[in-house]
Amino acid sequence: MNKTYICADIHGDLAGYKELLNLIDFDDTDRMTIAGDVLDRGKYGIELLELVLSQSNVSLLLGNHEMFAIMYLSGELSQDDWIRFGGQDTLSGILKMNQAKKEELLHKLLALPLYTEIESPVYGNTVVTHTGIDLDNLVYVHDDVIDVKESIKAGFERNTYNFMCGRDIHYAPTEILKRLNQYIILGHVPTYYINDDYSCNAYRSDYYMDIDCGNGKKRNGGRICCYDVNDDIYIYCKQS
Ligand SMILES: [Mn+2]
């Protein structure tokens, strides 16, 4: 009851998402933020997108895979390139749509926000976003403080592709991280690439938390991770 959850990078796993909602007893009084990448890799990206957009207490943020769909629908990404990025099944779904349906989808995708803020008992006012900051477009309040929200906006506006697929927070040295003015919860990079033990557990530092536990690549042991903000615990879906 009245809980706040965050997950990320579900990647077309409709059954896994439903399993997660069951596991956490998600009800109308709870809130869920999905920090991007419901599309691609898994089979049911379009269906998953439709479901989360229909849930009034679930909000979806823009991930690079939603951006790929926007680029494809806007004629800025070729089918071959999208397939290379894992878009095969999403593309098949879109190819079955008529023009009106495609336009409706594009309209919905363009409305997805880049970030949101939640109140964390551990970290205070916290930014939730997909990739974090773009190291090539940091906005300084002064020498010692980087404005996280302004950096996200600047990175996206100056070079959307670079912001989504470039040198993100995972490449940031500690001198940069310690200047961030807010804690960040994000996904995008599967945590087995970051964790010292290569595990599919959430990654957590003093500056940010990555909860993409690799559900897009289940063969690597990847799974859905959900962060329970109130109780400061992680809930993992077992592999289906
Ligand atoms: Mn991503």
For residue range 111-169, list pLDDT tens digits in order. 999 999 999 999 999 999 999 999 999 999 998 999 999 999 999 999 999 999 999 99
Phi, psi of 86 (to 5 degrees): 95, 15
Q: Tell me the residue range of the domain where 67 lies.
A: 4-236
Question: How far, in Å, is the centroid of ligand 1 from the Cα of 36?
Answer: 7
pTM for the predicted model, two decimal places: 0.96
- How far does residue 62's CA lie from ligand 1's centre (Å)? 9
Q: What is the dihedral of CA 190, 194, 196, 199, to 10 degrees?
A: -10
What are the φ and ψ backbone dihedral angles of 34, each rounded to 5 degrees?
A: -105, 115
Is 18 exposed, middle or buried (CB count within 10 Å of its CB: 0-12, 13-18, 19+)?
A: middle
Q: Ligand 1 centre from 87 Cα, in Å? A: 12
Q: How far is the CA of 9 from the centre of ligand 1 (A)?
A: 7
Q: Which residues of 26-45 are buried (b: 16+ CB within 10 A; e: fewer)?
A: beeebbbbbbbbbbbbbbbb
CA of 19 to the centre of ligand 1 (A): 22
Reported as a pLDDT band with limits 50, 70 and 90, residue 218 is: confident
Cα of 28 vs centre of ligand 1, distance in Å, is 28
CA of 75 to the centre of ligand 1 (A): 21
**Ligand 1 mean position to 199 CA, how many Å?**
18
Overall domain count for the chain: 1
Ligand 1: centre distance to CA 107 (Å): 20
20-53, pLDDT tens digit by residue?
A: 999 999 999 999 999 999 999 999 999 999 999 9
Confidence of residue 240 (pLDDT cuts 50, 70, 90): low
Residue 12 has pLDDT above 80, yes or no: yes
Cα 8 from Cα 203, distance rounded (Å)? 13
Cα 124 to middle of ligand 1, angstroms:
25
d(C-alpha 148, C-alpha 176), whole Å? 11
- Could you give the C-alpha distances from 228 to 29, 56, 120, 224, 236, in angstroms and in order? 14, 19, 10, 13, 11
Name the pLDDT band for 224 (thresholds 50, 70, 90): very high
Distance 140 CA to ligand 1 centre (A): 25
Q: What is the CATH number of the domain that holds 78?
A: 3.60.21.10
CA 187 to ligand 1 centroid distance, Å: 7
- DSSP run (H or E) holding 20: helix 14-23
**CA-atom Rg of the chain in angstroms:** 17
Compute, in angstroms, the gap from residue 188 CA to the centroid of ligand 1.
4
Around ion ligand 1, which residues have CB less than 5 A away? 37, 63-64, 188
Range 184-213 average pLDDT: 96
Residue 67 CA, ligand 1 centroid: distance in Å? 10
pLDDT reading at 239 higher than 90: no
Q: Which residues contact 134 (CB under 8 A, 6 or more apart)?
A: 151, 152, 154, 155, 156, 159, 162, 163, 166, 167, 168
